[in-house]
Amino acid sequence: MRAAAEGDVLPLYVLEREYWRLPDTSARQLAFTVETLAELRRDFAALGQPLVVQIGDVVEVLETLRRDGKLTALWSHEETGNDWTYQRDRRVARWCRDHGIRWTEVQQFGVWRRLSSRSGWAHGWDRMMAMPAVTPPPLGPVNVDAGPLPSVRDLQHEFGMRADPCPDRQPAGRRVAEGVLQSFLQRRGRSYRWAMSSPLEGAQACSRLSPHLALGALSMREAAQATWARQRQLADMEPRPDPSWPKSMTSFVGRLHWHCHFIQKLEDAPEIEFQNLHRAYDGLRPSAPDADRLAAWAAGETGLPFVDACMRCLRATGWLNFRMRAMVMSVAAYHLWLDWRAPGLVLARRFTDYEPGIHWSQVQMQSGTTGINTIRIYNPVKQGRDQDPTGAFTRRWLPELAPIADHHLQEPWMAENAAAILGKVYPHPIIDPQEAARHARDQVWAVRRSDGFRDEAGNIVAKHASRKPSPRRRASSRKKATPSGQMSFKF
């Protein structure tokens, strides 16, 4: 924000009590935030003015600063968050209007407010990401007490948050984020294209930038420009590099587009946090979830080994690769027949990198309620065999299955010694995966065949699908120096 003396800037972060009491926030996210703020405070201090961190309602904090003559203008990034942050921003906007405070919001992702059409969206993303980065100038000190940065433990008590042990959570902070980006581009990313789907190899081969991007410790523009620079470096190498590198970098740029593509959906239709994107699915599943099934899934106790391993890994690390996220949500929605809202909240709290736009779009996609995406009912047994062929991942998180032979690991109920394990140290499966998938498929496809379904699906495509550029435009874009890495979204 701009303070009273022209040119003075007061960096401010408000830890909002109500936000941290929401059902989609968690102590692991709070801990990641506080670690990032600690480093950010030191960085601002080096520029001349430490970061001020306050606890409370943001409008009340701003009003106190205004009354004390410390605030004449407000600057922030554009946020596409959950409904609570949207309503908070509306309150801030009203307060600014009432008091004649100019509020400038700066675009942070390739997401546009009040977007009228998705035509050319991906090209707009490329142009926005190619803009020069901004280096912060020195700051003049402002007479506001920065105070001590509260501890995570004190904040958990202040906000009434439940315990949330996450022993293998990623460390936070901008220095960490910069190191993660460079290690991915220079070392870890070579196998990204083919290893990203593996729960074991993906933990190293994926970028692991998502929590830093979600919180803003690293900007999307920085990530895109560094990746483009790496692509140019690879193209100029002699002798030619391992062909895995260029392919992986192309795939990664596509995923960066994908990140903003899904946030754009929530920006354009904030109701998808609560409502089915395609309203024909309203009432398909019970609105009140089966509490026993939901609890077993959340605890990693469904009796489906690969699902349980993924959920236990997520609880301990705060992260899963994309395919595993899709699979655990698919099982919750199809096999366990849970409405997406309840398991979606469980995952939102578990993900250190929770980004509402990506999260709720994906939760609905993997539950089959968008009406425009392919219905994908993951077979958890097959996924375990395909993605964890040695069983190393499953055995790491389910040590109680050690006596089960490798060929029965993903179906322990088929093992000769099943009676000694199931119901004693590991649960029987709470559903028959084949029968549950068959029931779900019949129910979902019955909706898709209903009257008027295609018309509404067409309206959804028109609003949310990124247009594929013409062949002539694609050919001309390939001649430009800046690689576009455009990803066409096919629905």
29 & 60 share domain: yes
pLDDT tens profile 359-408: 999 999 999 999 998 899 999 999 999 999 999 999 999 999 999 999 99
∠ CA 86-92-94, nearest 5°, is 105
Q: Is the dihedral of CA 281, 282, 284, 285 positive or negative?
A: positive
Residues forming beta bridges with residue 53, ordered by sequence position: 13
Beta bridge partners, 426, equal 422
Q: Does some domain include residue 453?
A: no
For residue 445, what pLDDT is reported? 93
Mean pLDDT of 263-292: 96
* Per-residue pLDDT tens over the stretch 308-365: 999 999 999 999 999 999 999 999 999 999 999 999 999 999 999 999 999 999 999 9
Query: What CA–CA distance (Å, rounded) separates 431 from 156?
Result: 37
Question: What is the count of structural domains for the chain?
Answer: 3
The boundaries of the domain holding residue 320 are 279-440
Give domain status of residue 382, yes or no. Answer: yes
Q: Which of 233, 266, 299 is the last residue of a domain?
A: 266
Among residues of the chain, what percentage have pLDDT more than 70?
93
Question: Is residue 322 marked as binding?
Answer: no
pTM (whole model) above 0.95: no
- In a 13 Å sphere around the CA of 147, the CA atoms on its Cβ side amount to 11
Distance CA 461, CA 423 (A): 47
* Residues 256, 126, 109: CA angle, nearest 5 degrees: 55
> Domain check: are 385 and 245 in the same one?
no
Residues 255 and 290 in one domain: no
Over 80: is that where the pLDDT of 36 sits?
Answer: yes
CA dihedral (126, 128, 131, 137) positive or negative: negative
Q: Are residues 245 and 286 in the same domain?
A: no
Q: How confident is the model at residue 477 (pLDDT cuts 50, 70, 90)?
A: very low
252 marked as binding residue: yes
Report pLDDT digits (tens) over 250-262: 999 999 999 999 9
Distance CA 417, CA 405 (A): 9
Render pLDDT for 85-119 as a digit per residue (tens, 0 to 9). 999 999 999 999 999 999 999 999 999 999 989 99
For 276, 364, 376, 464, the CA distances from 263, given in Å and listed in that order, are 16, 13, 21, 11
Verify that 406 and 317 share a domain, yes or no.
yes
Averaged pLDDT for residues 188-198: 97
Report residue 244's pLDDT band, with 50, 70 and 90 as the boundaries: very high
SS (H, E, C) 234-256: HHHCCCCCCCHHHHHHHHHHHHH
**Tokens 């998705």, residue?**
118
Please indicate, yes or no, if residue 169 is contained in any of the structural domains.
Answer: no
Percent of residues, the chain, with pLDDT higher than 90: 88
Residues 297 and 425 in one domain: yes
Give the type of residue at 382: K
Mean pLDDT of the chain: 92
The CATH number linked to 18 is 3.40.50.620
pLDDT category of residue 135 using cuts at 50, 70 and 90: confident
pLDDT at position 467: 57
Q: Which of 440, 456, 479 is the last residue of a domain?
A: 440
